[in-house]
Amino acid sequence: MSQPELVVDARAQLGEGPVWDERAQELIWVDIVGQMVHRFRPSDGRVTSLSVPKAVGAVAIRSHGGLVLALEDGFWILDLPDAEPRPFALLDPPAPGILRMNDGKVDREGRFWAGTTAWDDRAGDGAGALYRLDPDGGLRRMLDGVSISNGLDWDPDGRLMYFVDTPTQRIDVFDYDGLSGEIERRRTLVEVPHAAGAPDGLTVDAEGGIWVALWGGSAVHRYTPEGTLERTLHVPASQVSSCAFGGRQLDELYVTTAAIDLPPDEAARQPHAGGLFRCRPGVRGRPAGLFAG
């Protein structure tokens, strides 16, 4: 198992939402407050970046081509390579200035799940929610009382959904019905100690291991399906935001980080904060879900 090394010195203010595009063999990720969507092609190191009109919390790949963006006020469609994003399903009531979309992911049935957080953390206690965007454009509010909606993913059998609301310091798990898209019976799987950092984005590997980024912890943890800490990856940046598997064999773990709000002395000690990192952890991931709309 290798430790994460820098592959793109992106200097993102708030890097997030990595997802592997198997068709293009590229890693897509976002800079939330920088309002950028980045693509990295490992075969030749090429990086392309696209500016979007609002803060962007997450991105999903469409099965028919193009992307779905979780922008500040809801879900937008982006037809690559040159089209402008267009609204698809907006939040009601609108959230600009109060809430914004944050992390998200597509389930294997083709639904895009993403949640909200407050711009001002002090006003964000329980103000957010977790949403489900169905392929027909229907938008369902699945979970209320969320403060900072963050990482989510499903177990390899598709019967469980893992979810992080960062201030709780927990990874929670729901029973998941893939046919209906309903979740129920929420319970705690992992309680992350404050000293380790705050749980942020996560991904589940092909063996069912749960990898969670630790904001403020300079690390990614892997937990077993039973909730036992199995290993730790050390990242040379303190604000670790998310992770996703990629590469031709899905055996590479990509890790996003952030440079936002670092004090000058910390910024000097972390010259590559906001960068994209990669390692080979010895296990493989699973293909990213494709939005079916």
Instruction: Encode 91-115: b = buried (16+ Cβ within 10 Å), e = exposed.
Output: beeebeeebbbbbbbbbeebbbbbb
The one-letter amino acid code at 217 reads G
Tokens coding 274:
């906001």
Instruction: Tell me whether residue 200 is one of the annotated catalytic residues.
Output: yes
Is residue 15 within 8 Å of 213, Cβ to Cβ? no
Say if residue 138 is exposed, middle or buried (CB neighbours under 10 Å; 0-12, 13-18, 19+). Answer: exposed
| The one catalytic residue among 134, 200, 205, 265 | 200
- CA separation, residue 98 to residues 24, 74, 118, 128, 150 (Å): 36, 13, 6, 10, 17
The rounded radius of gyration (Å) of the Cα atoms in the chain is 17
Catalytic positions, please? 200
